[in-house]
Amino acid sequence: MPILKIARMGHPILNQRADEVPDPAAPDVARLVDAMIETMEDADGTGLAAPQVHMPWRIVVYKVVAERAEEEDGGAGETVPTTALINPVIEPLGEETDVAFEACLSVPDMAGPVRRFARIRLTYQTLEGKTVEQEAEGFHARVLQHECDHLDGVLYPMRIEDMRQFGFVDALGKGHGQRQSDEDGEERDDAAADD
């Protein structure tokens, strides 16, 4: 499958509500999902929404890697294999929220703190047209909220409460502790959700 071009902040497709997918089992939906997964992997992303690849459909692909989830959730992370969500719907479970830095493939090299619900219920359809309902919390819930925001024309900078903490990742590290050293001295980016 070809690597798809990722829309960047400012492109009109990222500002509109995506359309429902009428037939999740249609072959063109499966082809798009395959191309989205390949594009996400090529960009080293955690998730990707169809509007980010210039398709106004309510489709998300994402994954949660064990090491990343453990890092973000303080050692109690949840691993999720690469998953496709067709027509996902999110419902908060409770009022509890948390704030963490997020990044995005459509807003390259930047990060900022975003408040998200700590626990959510997710309902979606599979590529076979089956309806699935599940709950998620922590980093998993954050990734899902970030990706599903794209389906409603919302980019994470729109949710930042204190814009003084929004900026380029390398500059944030100089004054805000956004970059930390690994045990081997390599710097790593601590942005929480990077689709």
| Domains of the chain by residue range | 12-194
Domain 12-194 has CATH 1.10.3720.10: no
Give the long-range contacts of residues 72-81, CB within 8 A, separation 24 or more. Answer: 72/100, 72/138, 72/139, 72/142, 72/192, 73/138, 73/139, 76/138, 77/138, 77/139, 78/136, 78/137, 78/138, 78/139, 78/140, 80/140
Given 128, 147, 161, 187, which residue is catalytic? 147
Mean pLDDT confidence for 117-145: 97
Residue 147 bears catalytic tag: yes
Q: Dump pLDDT digits (tens) for 49-92.
A: 999 999 999 999 999 987 777 777 776 667 899 999 999 999 99
Share the mean pLDDT of the chain: 90
Q: Dump pLDDT digits (tens) for 2-51.
A: 899 999 999 999 999 999 999 999 999 999 999 999 999 999 999 999 99
On the question of pLDDT at 123 being above 60, the answer is: yes
On the question of pLDDT at 102 being above 50, the answer is: yes
On the question of pLDDT at 114 being above 70, the answer is: yes
Question: Residue 139: its pLDDT value, please?
Answer: 94
On the question of pLDDT at 119 being above 80, the answer is: yes
Single-letter amino acid code for the residue at 189: D
Least confident window among 20-24, 124-128, 179-183: 179-183
On the question of pLDDT at 185 being above 90, the answer is: no
Question: Residue 183: its pLDDT value, please?
Answer: 32
